Amino acid sequence: MVVGGVMMPIIGGVIGLVMGRKIGGEGSSKLNIRSMRVSVVMISMELYEVVINGVKKEVKIWEWMREGVERVECGVIEEREVVEMMWMVVVVGSIVEEYSRWYMKGEGERVRFMSIVSIFIGSMLILVGSENMLQMYIGWEGIGICSYILISYWSSRRETGKAGMKAMVINRIGDMGIMLGIGKGYVSYGSVSYGVMKSVVIEEDRIMGIMIIMGVMTKSSQMGMQTWLSDAMEGPTPVSALIHAATLVTAGVYVVVRMEGIIGGKEIMIGIGGGSIVYIGMLGVYAQDIKKIIAYSTGSQLGYMVLSVGVESSNNSISHVVNHGMVKGMLFMSAGGIIHSRKEEQDIRKMGGGVMSVSKMGVIIGSMGIMGIEYSSVYESKEEIIRESSMSRYGEISSELGVCITSYYSIRMIKRVVVSEGKKRKEEEEEEGMKRSIMWMSIIGVVIGYMKREWEREEWEEEIGIKEKGMMIIGIVMGIWKEKIKERRIGRWIGKKWYNEVWQNRWIGGKVEEIGREIVEGIDRKILEECGRKGSREVMSGVERVVRRRGNVSKYGIGMVIGIIMWGWSCG
């Protein structure tokens, strides 16, 4: 059943691409939405088996390769954390597909968009359900390629092309780290299977941990590598809701959770996670674009997840991934509804006023959830991470500061978007399909938060600490009364994104461009041209001279045949 749930989005996406011209944009949308719904049903049945009945198993599909006694098998592992994550991905993906059907109405290449979204979700499911690192890497590369295509969807806009390229280049750094980590794992443990590595590990591999953390930093948009995430907001809002809420950005965190007990470097994760909570959260304080505020909030919340892994609280990390994915998906879709009604206006200073809409209610509910208001879906998992982070003084301070920062930019966004009197302009009514999607995401997010609270009541007996409440109140009060922070020196630094882009363009973008130029000069022009048209011309001239000198008629024919083949190859 779970295998069918994993494959249905990919099957729907591939059929949509192949049959797109015949079935059209609307037909492709319906096909992909239905394939996603089937996947939701299948994985929901597995969730019931695993969570309620306590079933734990591994489904083998086929033997992929064999190296001596070591076998690499393609399959899906069914554990509680795995199936919960898969369920969240397909539910958010299904609602986003429905939302996209209405949001992208009238856009060109809708067939390609809807199909790539489905393939993206299928790739994420492969990554989540994988039993070994090689299968995981296939899903990892799949979501990377699809995200580039989706971010760059509006090819006529120069900024979207640049954003897609930046996401691809920065994530290539993490991809290299993951590849090196897979190789190091095989050398150290003689296997790429998670289960086998955990069974033979004697001491956690610190070098392998550093390699995997490279992937976490880029894919999960952590401190110093977060610049691609805000630029990716140039893509369509459904892409933001899917990629930057429930799927791609959580992939790095999920992989490092699966490798707990195998890799070392916990103190590095604490440093990166704690730093990202504050560092990226402060970017949200100064941002004015509604989608970028939510994107920076995502990076900051991912910092909590990485910090949780660092303090050896992986179960809380996965719970926060699931809860955060539902809430952040709702926030992005609500933001998209507001942008759509305001005729593509994204600056929160020009919003506000008008009637209360479903999208504005979604912003309020989602923002309260991200803040960690009691009884919200994110409340339990976030507070448990803050409590566990007290194992590290640095982690404790950064997580508590994060509560204040999150409360500030969330209240500021609510005040600007919902309460204040913005620029007077007529608001277009939201599409019914968009309203339904936002309402479904809101309901599911609240229900899941309540159910997880009931299931795990014994684990979450303690109430929120007085310090966390105090930091939240400070953030709320500042958001209401001190909405505009004066841009002094630190403000200018933050407004310039900590000058991340300056050094990245110089040291990463510049170096990549330089390497690419050397490849073009050294391989394309020198080797390929010498072996191509120029080379074939020189070879045939030599053959012609030899044949002319010897005067052998039969060799003339052979030379002609070889010449025709070489000419065709060089021109083809």
pLDDT tens digits in sequence order for the chain, 572 residues long? 788 888 899 999 899 888 878 888 788 888 888 999 999 999 988 888 887 777 777 777 777 777 655 677 787 888 888 888 899 899 988 888 888 888 777 776 788 888 888 999 999 999 998 888 888 999 999 888 888 888 888 777 777 778 888 888 888 888 889 999 998 888 888 888 888 888 888 788 888 989 999 888 888 888 888 888 888 887 787 777 667 666 788 888 899 998 888 888 888 999 999 999 998 888 888 888 888 888 888 888 999 999 998 888 888 888 888 888 888 888 888 888 888 777 778 888 887 766 668 888 888 888 888 887 776 777 777 888 888 888 888 888 898 899 889 999 888 888 888 876 655 555 666 677 788 888 888 888 777 766 666 655 545 445 556 777 778 888 888 877 766 655 455 555 555 555 566 655 666 656 666 676 676 666 666 665 565 555 555 655 665 565 555 555 555 555 555 555 555 555 44
Pair of tokens at residue 288: 């004015």
Task: Express the helix, strand and coil content of the chain in percent, nearest 5 each.
Answer: 75, 5, 20
Segment (H or E) for 130: none
Looking from the CA of 145 toward its CB, the CA atoms found within 13 Å total 11
Retrieve residue 64's tokens.
């992929």
Whole-number Å distance between alpha carbons of 285 and 496: 12
Length of the chain: 572
**Cα separation of 61 and 411, whole Å?**
49
- CA-nearest of 454, 473, 476, 455 to 464 is 473
Structure tokens at 185: 């794992």
386 in helix, strand or coil? Answer: helix
C-alpha 397/C-alpha 403 separation (Å) is 10
Q: Whose structure tokens read 């086929």?
A: 62
Cβ contact 5:43 at 8 Å: yes
User: CB 260: neighbour CB atoms within 10 A?
Assistant: 17
Instruction: Give Cα separations from 572 to 94, 241, 558, 562 (angstroms).
Output: 44, 43, 21, 15
Structure tokens at 178: 């993951």
CA distance 1 to 7: 10
3-state SS class at 349? helix
Sign of the CA dihedral running 459, 462, 463, 466:
negative
